[in-house]
Amino acid sequence: MADRVTMLSALSKEERSTLEKRLAERQSGKCFICDKPIDLLLHQGQLDVDHIIPLSEVGPDEENNFAIVHLSCNRSKGASDLRVARRMAEFDRLQIEAQEQGLRGANLGNVLQRYGGSKAKLRLKRRPEHVDFVLSEIGRPEIQSVPLYKDSLSGMEYFFALMPLEYLHHDDRINPRSIGSNVRGLIEEFMKKRPQLHIALAWWAPEPDGASLLKVFDGQHKAAAQILLGVKELPVRVFVQPDTNVLLQANTNAGDKLRQVAFDTAVIRHLGSSLFVERIRQYQTMKGFREDHYGFSERDLVAFFRGEHREMQRYIVDSVRDQITHSTENRLKEFIEWSGKGADRPLAYSTIERTFFAEFVYKNALDSPIDEGVERGENPRFLERDQLIRLMNLFADVFFVGQWDPETGGRKIEYQVQKGTLIAEPHLRAWRMAREEVVGAILQWVRLVVEHYFAWTGQMTNKERLFQKKFPEDLWRRIELFLSNLAMLPCWIDKHLSQTVFGAKQNREFWLQVFKTGASPAGVAVLACPLDLNQMIQETSEARKGIAA
C-alpha cells in the first residue's frame, strides 16, 4: 500500500502543475465535487488532487483515478470517496434551491425534477390477475403485463414494476418530509453494491380519462440515493386505486405511534393536520352535507369518530399548530430549526411546541360551529392562529431580525464567550433569548400583560382560550413594548454570566425566579431589580429604538 500512496507526493512541482492542467482540461475547468469553475491562476495554492475511488476501497493509484478539486471542497466533503462527495454537493444545491422556494428542504420531488423525472402519467388496464401498461411517453409502446396481488390484511390490490423516473411523482401530502443528510449513508451503501431490501411504495388511481400520476409516498430516501447515483428506473410496489386515507394514517402511525420512521415533530403535526381535513370530508359525506357546509363543531367530529377520540383531539390541535408554522406570514419560522436544535438557527421546533403552543393553543374540541364568526373575523380558531402568528412575528422582529447572524451560528456560543472570542452583542442576545426556558418564562409574562389589560378594561376572559379573544391594537402595543423593554436588559449581553447563568441549561422556574426577584435561585444577581409589569409596558427611549430597529 505504501508504494501506491506515494505516487502523487513523488511528483515534482512541474509534474504536479502539468497534471493539474490535464485534469482541469479533462473536467472542463470544473471542480469534480462542486462542479464550479477552477482557475489554475486564481486558485493557486487552493487546489487539491485526490483519488476518485479511495485507495482504501482498492482504487487504482493512477491518473485515470485522479480528480482536481477545490481544497475547501475536499476538506469539507465528509467522505473519503469523491464520488459520494460529488453527489452530496449536488444534493446540497437542491437543498438550497428548495429553501429559496420556501420549502424546509429538498424532497423526492425536487430530486426527480432535477434528473428528468415526474413528466408523464401512467395509463393502466386492470384485469382479474394482471395489469397492463405501456410507457409510450418515453418511446416504449410495447404492452407490459405484470401480476396483480391482493394484500390479505388490508384488501388492497398492488403490483410490482420497474418504473422509469419520468413516470414517478412525489406525494407530498402523505409524505411531507424533506430528505435528511442521512441520504449520504445510503449513497455510500449503494456505491458499495449493497442492496437495500425495502423498495419504494407508490399508489395509482385513474382519473376520468384513465391516466393518472404514479405517486411515491414511502422510501424516498432510498429512491433519492439511487437517483443521485444515476439510476434511471426504480422498482416500486404500486397500490391500485387504494383508500389514500388509510395510507396517510399508516404513514402517520409509522412516525408517531410505531416509531418506525424518524419523523420530526413538525412533520407529525403536518400529517395530523391532513388527517383532520380528511375527517371533515368524511363527516360531510356520511352526513350528506355539501362540501362547503361547516355548520358542525369540533366536538361533533370527536363524538362521531368516537373510536378515534384521542386521535381526533390531537388532529384538531395539530391543524392549528400546522397552520401557524407553515403560514407564509410567520416571520419567526426563518429562525426555527425543524429537526432538533442545530447551530444555524436559534430556535428548535420543540421549543415552539413547548412554549407558544403549550401556553396558548386551546387543547380541547370547541362546541361552536367550525365556520362560526368567519365573515366577521371572529372565528375562535382563526383568531387563535392569526394572533399567535402576530405574537411570533413580534418575537422575530424584536429578538432576531437583523440581530441573529447565520454565519456565526450557535455552535458552542457560551464556550466561545468564556474563551474570550468576540461575539456580537445582538447575536449573543438572540441566542440567549431563544433558549426554551427563557422563551417559556417570557410567554408567561406575555400572558400577564394580556390578562392585566383585560382586567384593567373590565373584560372577562377565558384563560385557557386567551388567544381566541380578539386583542385590540392598544394591547398589541403593550405586548410589543414589553418585549422591547425586555430585550434591552443588560443580562442578555453580559459576558460575565456565561458560566453562572447561561453556562448550563436551566428550567423555566429558574427564569421566572429571576424575573420575579432579579436573582437566580442560587442568589446570583442577574437583573438590577425585579421586573415590574407596569414599567415594562411603558414606552422608553430604549424601547423606541428597539421597535424602530
* Of 237, 365, 250, 226, nearest in space to 306 by CA: 365
Query: What is the structure's pLDDT at 246?
Result: 85
User: The pTM is what?
Assistant: 0.60
* Of 361, 250, 387, 362, nearest in space to 299 by CA: 362
Q: CA-to-CA distance for 174 and 530, rounded, in angstroms?
A: 50
Q: Where are the alpha helices (DSSP H) in 396-435?
A: 413-418, 425-433
Q: CA-to-CA distance for 428 and 156, rounded, in angstroms?
A: 55
Which cell goes with 527? 437583573
- Answer yes or no: are the C-beta atoms of 441 and 512 closer than 8 Å: yes
DSSP output for 483-506: HHHHHT-GGGG-GGGTTTTSSS--
Q: Where are the alpha helices (DSSP H) in 127-232?
A: 183-191, 220-228
- Cα dist from 2 to 5, 6, 9, 63, 68, whole Å: 5, 7, 11, 17, 22
CA 200 to the chain's CA centroid: 22
Residues with Cβ within 8 Å of residue 326, at least 6 apart in sequence: 270, 333
Which cell goes with 539? 414606552
Query: What is the structure's pLDDT at 426?
Result: 95
Query: What is the structure's pLDDT at 548?
Result: 42
Residue by residue, pLDDT tens for the chain (549 residues) are: 334 445 777 788 888 899 999 999 999 999 998 889 999 999 988 999 988 888 777 788 888 889 999 988 887 655 568 888 888 888 988 988 887 887 778 999 999 999 999 999 999 999 989 999 999 999 999 999 999 999 988 899 999 999 999 999 999 888 888 887 778 888 888 887 887 777 899 999 998 888 999 999 999 999 999 999 999 999 999 999 999 888 887 777 665 554 444 445 555 566 567 778 888 888 999 999 988 888 999 999 999 988 888 888 888 898 898 889 888 899 999 999 876 555 678 999 999 999 999 999 999 999 999 889 888 889 999 999 999 999 999 999 999 999 999 888 888 899 999 999 999 999 999 999 999 999 999 999 999 999 999 999 999 999 999 999 999 999 999 999 999 999 999 999 999 999 899 988 899 999 999 999 999 999 999 999 999 999 999 987 554 554 444
Q: CA-to-CA distance for 399 and 527, rounded, in angstroms?
A: 18
Which cell goes with 449? 400583560
Taking CB atoms within 8 Å and a gap of at least 24, the contacts of 346-351 are 346/400, 346/404, 346/410, 346/430, 346/431, 346/434, 347/434, 347/439, 348/436, 349/264, 349/265, 349/266, 349/325, 350/265, 350/436, 351/434, 351/436, 351/439
Which cell goes with 355? 412554549
340: exposed, middle or buried (C-beta count within 10 Å: 0-12, 13-18, 19+)?
Answer: exposed
* Cross-strand pairs, 218: 201
Buried/exposed code over 440-457 (b: 16+ C-beta within 10 A; e: otherwise): bbbbebbebbbeebbeee
* Of 300, 281, 304, nearest in space to 367 by CA: 300
Query: What is the structure's pLDDT at 430?
Result: 96
Query: What is the structure's pLDDT at 55?
Result: 78
- Answer yes or no: are the C-beta atoms of 405 and 463 closer than 8 Å: no
Q: CA-to-CA distance for 208 and 7, rounded, in angstroms?
A: 65
Give the three-class secondary structure for 444: helix
- Amino acid occupying residue 52: I
Which cell goes with 26? 479533462
Q: CA-to-CA distance for 455 and 533, rounded, in angstroms?
A: 14
Residue 152 half-sphere exposure, CB side, CA atoms within 13 Å? 0
CA 435 to the chain's CA centroid: 19
- Amino acid occupying residue 35: D
- Answer yes or no: are the C-beta atoms of 104 and 113 closer than 8 Å: no
Helix axis angle, 309-325 relative to 380-395, nearest 10°?
50
Length of the chain counted residue by residue? 549
Query: What is the structure's pLDDT at 92?
Result: 87
